[in-house]
Amino acid sequence: MIYIATPGGIRGRGGIGRIVSYFTRKLAKTPNAPQFRVVDTYGPGSPFLMPFFFFAALIRLLAVCCLGRASLVHVHMAEYGSVVRKGLITALLHLFGVPVILHLHGANFREQCERASPWERRLLRRTLGMANEIVVLGEYWRDFIIDFFGPDMPPVTILVNAVEGPVQVPDRPASGAARILFLGRVGERKGTGELLEALASAPCRDREWTAAIAGDGEVEAFRTKAEALGLSDRVTFLGWSDESRSRELLAQSDIFVLPSRNEGLPVAIVEAMAYGLPVIATPVGSVPTAIDNEISGLLVPPGDPVPLAVALARLMDDGRLRQSLAGAARRRFEQDFDIRIFCDRLIAIYRRNAAWWPA
């Protein structure tokens, strides 16, 4: 059996939960896929319940190790506390000789590594070194792991995030008021403040548009900021959106924007590409792996609302540009970011690392 250790299981909020939900659904329908079980290492999101879920996951993995039932464990890791928890799991599996795939997602993982003390760096190196293979989201993260930890690490493999897209892209008008969508955790890291400032600035405020901001996080703080900027009648804060609601929003929007300050590879951007939306984003993390500037989207500097406002205004005014970027984004999704391609590549990773193949 292959075990997939991940925060929140298939119902986890955020990018990791969404990716695990997508690929486990697809694996379950794939004829050559191995048998697998998902182990929730965090729970429904409450920090008070997290220790109970984590230790339950640790005990479950200890049991399957003792019984010899685990042929491989696919561990999903972010940053900071996640590194500690997944480090303990990886050490346990290493002790029993169970192969481990360590799948790195954390947008702040580089920051953690660079700020770490010498002994913390040794622990980070030890954690990654116990894996049989390290999976990252793009060239940016592969190069960082190799440069920071050295060439004697386990193999580092790129596996870009992928989603299940609609069979056909929704029809969208080339003119009229633009419907703008932000899909992600509301806060400074995702650039919510820069987006509001851009929308309130001269290039955007006199144009016709509405904006939906979907995500949990610092919602009330930024709703207050939107009111102070005079945007409350045009910007709607929707709170957390599950997969079904996110699909509805993507289908109903004309422009997708995510001006993050740092990232892994946002699932929301890949979902926007799947729905044939023109994307405005920032060239951080592995975002340039998905978005080619001026071809499949527009990339603007992080932390600066001025170029963001200019990019938004361009897409508001130019329906043909929106359609051109959207078409290229959809084609790129079909080529590299479809969940079927992801699962084929993931199965290949499983095959070359599993102690035996759980057919």
Task: Output the tens digit of pLDDT for each of the chain's 359 residues.
Answer: 999 999 998 887 788 999 999 999 999 998 889 999 999 999 887 888 899 999 999 999 999 999 999 999 999 999 999 999 999 999 999 999 999 999 999 899 999 999 999 999 999 999 999 999 999 999 999 999 999 998 889 999 999 999 999 999 988 887 778 999 999 999 999 999 999 999 999 999 989 999 999 999 999 999 999 999 999 999 999 999 988 999 999 999 999 999 999 998 999 999 999 999 999 999 999 999 999 999 999 999 999 999 999 999 999 999 899 999 999 999 999 999 999 999 999 999 999 999 999 87
Is the same domain home to 21 and 93? yes
Q: Is residue 78 part of a domain?
A: yes
Is the same domain home to 153 and 19? yes
Q: How far apart, in Å, do the first and last CA atoms of the chain sit? A: 8
267-274 and 319-332 helices, crossing angle to 10°: 110
pLDDT number for residue 176: 77
For residue 97, report the phi and psi dihedrals to the nearest 5 degrees: 75, 25
Is the same domain home to 250 and 325? yes
The residues that bridge with 214 in the sheet, in sequence order, are: 183, 239
pLDDT number for residue 256: 98
Is the same domain home to 143 and 212? no
Is the same domain home to 189 and 208? yes
Is the same domain home to 282 and 314? yes
Is the same domain home to 192 and 289? yes
Cα–Cα distance between 92 and 95 in angstroms, integer? 5
Q: Is residue 325 part of a domain?
A: yes
Q: Is residue 171 part of a domain?
A: no
Is the same domain home to 318 and 186? yes
Cα–Cα distance between 43 and 52 in angstroms, integer? 8
Q: Is residue 119 part of a domain?
A: yes
Cα–Cα distance between 151 and 4 in angstroms, integer? 27
Is the same domain home to 75 and 152? yes
Q: Is residue 359 part of a domain?
A: no
Joined tokens for residue 351:
């095959």
Alpha helices, H only, the chain = 14-28, 50-66, 81-95, 109-115, 118-129, 139-149, 192-200, 202-205, 219-228, 243-252, 267-274, 287-290, 305-317, 319-332, 339-353
Q: Is residue 94 part of a domain?
A: yes
Q: For the chain, how many structural domains are there in total?
A: 2
Q: Is residue 172 part of a domain?
A: no
Q: Is residue 86 part of a domain?
A: yes
pLDDT number for residue 13: 76
pLDDT number for residue 177: 86
Domain that holds residue 254: 178-337
DSSP reduced 3-state for 147: helix
pLDDT number for residue 14: 81
DSSP 246-302: HHHHHHH-SEEEE--SS-S--HHHHHHHHTT--EEE---TTHHHH--BTTTEEE--T
CB 20 within 8 A of CB 6: yes
- Written as one letter, the residue type at 241 is S
Is the same domain home to 158 and 281? no
CATH of the domain at 71: 3.40.50.2000
Is the same domain home to 75 and 190? no
Joined tokens for residue 37:
């079980």
pTM score > 0.85 for this model? yes
Cα–Cα distance between 164 and 23 in angstroms, integer? 9
Is the same domain home to 139 and 218? no
Alpha-carbon distances of 201 from 230, 231, 252, 283, 328, rounded to whole Å: 11, 11, 25, 22, 29
- Neighbouring residues of 292: CB distance < 8 A, sequence distance ≥ 6: 328, 332
Cα–Cα distance between 82 and 215 in angstroms, integer? 21
Sheet holding 279-281, edge to edge: 235-239, 209-214, 178-183, 255-258, 279-281, 297-299
